[in-house]
Amino acid sequence: MTGETTEVDMDVRRHLTSEVTRTTLRLQQTILAAVRAYLAGLGCTEVLLPIVGPVTDPGSRGAKQVDIDYYGHRYKLMTSAILYKQATLLAFDRIFCVAPNVRLEPMETAGTGRHLTEFHQIDVELAGASREEAMGVAEGVVAAAAGAVATEFAAARPALGAVATGGYTRLSYRDAVRELVALGVRQDDGAEINWQAEKLLSDRFAKPFFLVGYPKGSRGFYDREDQDDPGWLRNFDLLAGEGYGELASGGERESDYARVVTRMRETGENPAKYAWYLDLVRTGLPASAGFGIGLERLTRYLLGLPEVTAASAFPKLAGVVSP
């Protein structure tokens, strides 16, 4: 190797040659293989989904989207695969993908150890499934990944044994809010739980746990409103234990055309922009439930790493210019 090194070059070199990065990326392969085997065993077909499109998931919690010029049309980089996941159920009843997502997170997330602006999601969608079935599969994904890491990695941390056995607690959003208020957090009932509060909750659990039933205003138009409990969604988050915070979001999907349009309007989205998706909803998409798990976050959690950056070969943090 010849030539002069720049500061960026040195950072890339140091990162890619470090033992932590190399061990982490090798075990990420183990995690992916275990997750693929588990999902294939449930009859899920792996699909490769678009990375650009006229619209993308608007429900990504304060993160900005990236626009690109697509032959004179304003297109987006995917913030999640949600719209394409639902559409792909026209081909197969159970699908998953491992897809890159780009979210311009707020600058203050650069130091959290858990936010990347470019990351991958293991995204699953199951036709005809309920929230509870989707939660069972999400638990199975994390348990399978934990079991594989525990087997493969001699230095695996003891906590993985319990993660691999499943049986994750379910806590309602409303109980979580009560618990946060009791801890002295200013948490409004009806608002999103921010990452700082998620961390506090997550600190109180030794294993992953579910938060169930978020308020309508907090999530995208695609999570189905509970008809028996208006204002509340049939959705969930899966949080890691030990303070590692959120790993996954998911839920049942709204498949009624009029309700989807209403929810879009309520959340400030212009239905005209979603023409391709709304045409499919109008002419019929299967009812479904699904979820997406952040691969780098899952890797970080299972290996007990302080920084999510170790779980990416080329990590990007909010506001940091990097290759």
Instruction: Give the footprint of ligand ASN on this chain (CB under 6 A).
Output: 57, 59-60, 80, 82, 121, 123, 249-251, 290-292
Of 144 and 293, which has the nearer Cβ to ligand ASN? 293
Least Å from the CB of residue 290 to ligand ASN: 5
User: What is the distance between the alpha carbons of residues 323 and 316, in angstroms, rounded to a whole number?
Assistant: 8
Residue number with the smallest Cβ distance to ligand ASN:
292
- Give dist(CA 234, CA 245) in Å, integer: 21
Cβ distance to ligand ASN smaller for residue 82 or 160:
82
- Burial class of residue 91 (count of CB atoms within 10 Å of its CB; 0-12, 13-18, 19+): exposed
- 199 torsion bin: left (phi>0), alpha (psi -120 to 50), beta (else): alpha
Q: Based on C-alpha coordinates, what's the Rg of the chain?
A: 20
Question: Dihedral, CA atoms, 193, 139, 240, 321, nearest 10 degrees?
Answer: -80
Q: Report the distance separating Cα 303 and Cα 90, nearest Å.
A: 37
Q: Strands 45-46 and 94-102: what pairing? A: parallel
| Minimum CB distance to ligand ASN smaller for 78 or for 160 | 78
Q: Rounded to whole angstroms, how far apart are CA atoms 257 and 300?
A: 39
Give residue 19's region: left, alpha or beta (phi > 0; psi -120 to 50): alpha
21 versus 80: smaller Cβ distance to ligand ASN:
80
| Closest separation in Å from C-beta 121 to ligand ASN | 6
Q: Which is nearer to ligand ASN, 60 or 187 (CB)?
A: 60
Q: Name the minimum Å distance from CB 150 to ligand ASN.
A: 26
Q: At closest approach, how far in Å is the CB of 246 from ligand ASN?
A: 10
Sheet containing 73-77: give its strands across: 52-53, 73-77, 67-70
Work out whether the CA dihedral 184, 163, 210, 30 comes out positive or negative: positive
Query: Among residues 49 and 164, whose Cβ is nearest to ligand ASN?
Result: 49
**Least distance in Å: CB of 220 to ligand ASN?**
6
Q: Which is nearer to ligand ASN, 123 or 198 (CB)?
A: 123
Q: How far is the CB of 199 from ligand ASN (least distance, A)?
A: 19
Q: Please, what is the minimum distance in Å from the beta carbon of residue 50 to ligand ASN?
A: 15
